[in-house]
């Protein structure tokens, strides 16, 4: 069965925040967002992305991670 197991108890407390500093490619941003969504993480911060933001390649490679 694929997806997140929503039957497990959630950890209380502040959720982790992922920070990408100077990501080189938009694809790296999108792939990180997709991986985060797979683990139920929702906060992503970008610091000085090389190709700017928003980035079409990042949106394409995120494959539906909102």
Question: What SS3 state is found at 23?
Answer: coil
- Per residue in 21-63, pLDDT (tens digit) is 999 988 888 999 999 999 989 999 999 998 877 778 777 777 7
Q: Cβ-count burial of 11 within 10 angstroms (0-12 exposed, 13-18 middle, 19+ buried)?
A: exposed
Residue matched to tokens 């928003």: 54
pTM over 0.75: no
């Amino acid at each position: 069965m694929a997806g997140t197991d929503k039957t497990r108890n959630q950890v209380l407390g502040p959720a982790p925040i992922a920070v990408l500093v100077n990501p080189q490619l938009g694809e790296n941003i999108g792939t990180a967002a997709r991986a985060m969504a797979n683990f139920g993480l929702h906060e992503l911060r970008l610091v000085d992305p090389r190709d700017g933001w928003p980035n079409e390649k990042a949106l394409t490679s995120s494959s539906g991670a909102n």
